[in-house]
A and B are shown apart, each in its own frame.
Chain A
Amino acid sequence: QVQLQESGPGLVKPSQTLSLTCTVSGDSISSGDSYWSWIRQPPGKGLEYIAYIYYSGSTYYSPSLKSRVSISVDTSRNEFSLTVRSVTFADTAVYYCARVWSSSWAFDPWGQGTLVTVSS
Chain B
Amino acid sequence: SYELTQPPSVSVSPGQTASITCSGDKLGNKYTFWYHQKPGQSPVLVIYQNNKRPSGIPERISGANSGNTATLTISGTQTMDEADYYCQAWDGSTALFGGGTKLTVL
Contact = CB atoms under 8 A, between A and B. Distances in A.
B42 A113 contact: yes
B45 interface: yes
A107 B42 contact: no
Nearest to A104: B48
B100 A106 contact: no
Contact of B35 (A48, A52, A107, A112): A107
Contacts of B33: 105-107
A62 interface: yes
Contacts of B100: 46-47
B1 to A, nearest CB: 8
B10 interface: no
B24 interface: no
Interface in B54-97: 54, 86, 88, 90, 93-97
Interface of B: 1, 31, 33, 35, 42-45, 48-49, 52, 54, 86, 88, 90, 93-100
Interface in A9-65: 37, 39, 46-49, 52, 60, 62-63
Interface of A: 37, 39, 46-49, 52, 60, 62-63, 96, 104-113
A37 B35 CA distance: 16
B32 to A, nearest CB: 11
A52 B95 CA distance: 10
A49 B86 contact: no
Nearest to B6: A46
Contacts of B86: 46-47
Nearest to A106: B48
B45 A47 contact: no
Contacts of A46: 86, 97-100
Most chain A beta carbons < 10 A, residue from B42, B88, B98: B42
B88 A107 contact: yes
B43 A96 contact: yes
Contact of A110 (B44, B93, B94): B44
